[in-house]
Amino acid sequence: CGEQNMIHFAPSVYVVQYLDKSFDDDAELRSKALSYMKKGYENQLLYQRDDGSFSAFGKQDASGSMWLTAFVVRCLLQAQPYIEIDPTVL
C-alpha cells in the first residue's frame, strides 16, 4: 500500500542526504539508495488519485489522505535533487 511503500522510499532519501552532508563517498550504498528511490517513486505513483492526493490504496479508497499526501510530497521534494520527479505530481 502507499504507506508501506513510503516506509522504504523515505529512508533511501535520508541515506543519500546523510552521505552528502557527511561527505561519505560510499558509492555502493549511494547506488542502492538511488535505485530504491527510483523504484519507490514509481511505485508511489500507483497510489496517487485523480485529484493529486495519495491514499493507502489509491483510487480504490473513497478519498485521499491529507497526512499521507503531505508526507509523500515532503519526501518527493527532498528526493528531487537526486532523482527526476515529475513536477505535476507535486
Three-class DSSP category at 63: coil
pLDDT of residue 52: 97
Q: Nearest 5°: phi and psi at 54?
A: -120, 150
Cell of 5: 511503500
Q: Residue 39: which pLDDT band, with cuts at 50, 70 and 90?
A: very high
pLDDT tens digits for range 67-83: 999 999 999 999 999 99
Residue ranges per domain, the chain?
2-89
pLDDT of residue 45: 98
Can you name the residues that pair with 54 across neighbouring β-strands?
48
- The reported pTM is 0.94
pLDDT tens digits for range 42-70: 999 999 999 999 999 999 999 999 999 99
